[in-house]
Structure 1
Amino acid sequence: MKKKLVVFTGAGISAESGLKTFRDTDGLWEGFNIYDVATPEAWRKNPEVVQDFYNQRRKQVLAAQPNEAHKALAALEADYDVHIITQNVDDLHERAGSTRVTHLHGLITRSQSDINPDLTYPIDGWELKMGDLCELGTQLRAHVVWFGEPVPMIEEAAFICSSAEVFVLVGSSLAVYPAAGLIDFVPALSPTYIIDPVIPKVKNSHQVIKIQKTAVEGMKDLMDLLI
């Protein structure tokens, strides 16, 4: 039976595919204050601006390609029972070939009902228009968890982490909660590999192997260690 390998990925892995993260620019995301485009209050105040912001992000995601780090994680499925938990709203893991991906913060290539986040739909292309309605007759928005909203997949992700035999953290600063707390559910005896140019602090009880490199370069080292 294959060992269960749980991988937690953050913005650092997608940055090498050209997708930017607001945490690299002092709270600005593509020139926008995150609270002007990533909160329920912003949506109520100026839905057209928020809709356009995510349309542009979606266009970038669709133009981006999985990088070698994404592909390496997909390749690990040949030797491990790989479960990916990601903070990222892009679909690069899936396009690289990973088959078990849990999106904590939603998926930008899907839309959701303005009043029922459980109603989600695929988006044809990059543009979601004002006037596009869900089956309940209300406006569709990006299927993204905003600041101040609950993270519906957090309990499932915690359960996945609790049974990890090997845990890998790639490209996350562990700065956004509740996602950052998932590492605390990993069994203390399970080896934990951290790949990032700046290694975040984790509790001393974990067996931490630090790979202080970018996602692409660090995954090459990890493949040598695991296979």
Structure 2
Amino acid sequence: MKKKLVVLTGAGISAESGIKTFRDSDGLWEGHNVMDVATPEGWRKNPALVLDFYNQRRKQLKEVEPNLGHQILAELEKEFEVYIITQNVDDLHERAGSTNVLHLHGELLKVRSETNLNYILDWYEDLNFGDVDDDKNQLRPHIVWFGEDVPALDRALEITQSADFFAVIGTSLQVYPAAGLIDFTAREIPIFYIDPKPIKIPNLRNPLQVIPEVASKGVEIMRNKLRSFI
């Protein structure tokens, strides 16, 4: 039976493919204050801005490709039972070939009803005013905005608790509840932490291997270390 590798990924792995993050030094996301484009209040205040912002992100996504980090994680499915829990809203893990991907913060290529959380559609083009659900309610980006519940969290906790290995790749471990997943791992399992600027993880009970590299290089190092456990 294959060992279970659970991987929490953040913006750092997608940044190598050319997708900018909102945690750059200026605090902006593609020139926008995140409170204007990633909160329910921003949506109510200026929905046209929010629609245009995500339409532009959807177009940008078509212009980038998965990088080596994504590809190696997909290849690891040959040796491990791999589950990706990602904070990213892009589809680069899926395009690289990963088959078990859970999106904590929603998906850029989906939309949902303003009023019905379960009315979700695949969506690859622009989303406009007048695009509605079956009850004529406006559709919105299928993104978990700041201040909203994280529907996938329970499943993420369940996956994390059953891991034989846990990896954190390209995330600042500052955004909760995602950052708290590491505390739900079994006490004895190895944890790999890949980030060019790793922070200190307080109160960690597990054996930790820090790999201070960008995702693409760090994942390759992790793969070699994981093979020593097989």
TM range (shorter): over 0.9
Matched, 1:193 2:175: no
Question: In structure 1, the residue corresponding to 2:213 is in which secondary structure?
Answer: coil
The number of residue pairs the alignment matches comes to 226
Structure 1 position 130, deviation (Å)? 1.2
Structure 1 position 197, deviation (Å)? 0.6
Ranges of 4+ aligned residues in structure 1 off by more than 6 Å: none
Question: In structure 1, the residue corresponding to 2:6 is in which secondary structure?
Answer: strand
Q: 2: distance between equivalents of 1:26 and 1:147?
A: 18
Q: 1: distance between equivalents of 2:180 and 2:220?
A: 26
Matches within 5 A, 1:91-106: 91-106=91-106
Stretches of structure 2 lacking an aligned partner (at least 5 in a row) = none
Cα contact 1:195–1:211 (8 A) shared by 2: yes
Matches within 5 A, 1:129-144: 129-144=128-143
Partner of 2:224: 224
Question: In structure 2, the residue corresponding to 1:221 is in which secondary structure?
Answer: helix
Q: Once the two structures are superposed, what CA deviation does each residue of 1:33-56 show, in whole Å capped at 9, x if it has no partner?
A: 000111111111111110000000
Partner of 1:108: 108
Q: 1: distance between equivalents of 2:88 and 2:13?
A: 9
TM-score by length of 2: 0.96
Structure 1 position 126, deviation (Å)? 3.0
Letter in 2 for 1:157: A
Structure 1 position 204, deviation (Å)? 3.1
TM-score by length of 1: 0.97
Structure 1 position 109, deviation (Å)? 0.3
Partner of 1:178: 177
Q: Identity percentage over the alignment? A: 54
Cα contact 1:5–1:168 (8 A) shared by 2: yes
Question: In structure 2, the residue corresponding to 1:65 is in which secondary structure?
Answer: coil
Q: 2: distance between equivalents of 1:185 and 1:143?
A: 27
Q: 1: distance between equivalents of 2:135 and 2:79?
A: 45
Partner of 1:166: 165
Q: Once the two structures are superposed, what CA deviation does each residue of 1:4-60 show, in whole Å capped at 9, x if it has no partner?
A: 100000000000000000101332001100001111111111111100000001111
Cα contact 2:183–2:204 (8 A) shared by 1: no
Cα contact 1:109–1:122 (8 A) shared by 2: yes
Partner of 1:147: 146
Question: In structure 1, the residue corresponding to 2:197 is in which secondary structure?
Answer: coil
Letter in 2 for 1:69: G
Question: In structure 2, the residue corresponding to 1:167 is in which secondary structure?
Answer: strand
Partner of 1:50: 50
Cα contact 1:197–1:214 (8 A) shared by 2: yes
Q: 2: distance between equivalents of 1:136 and 1:29?
A: 33
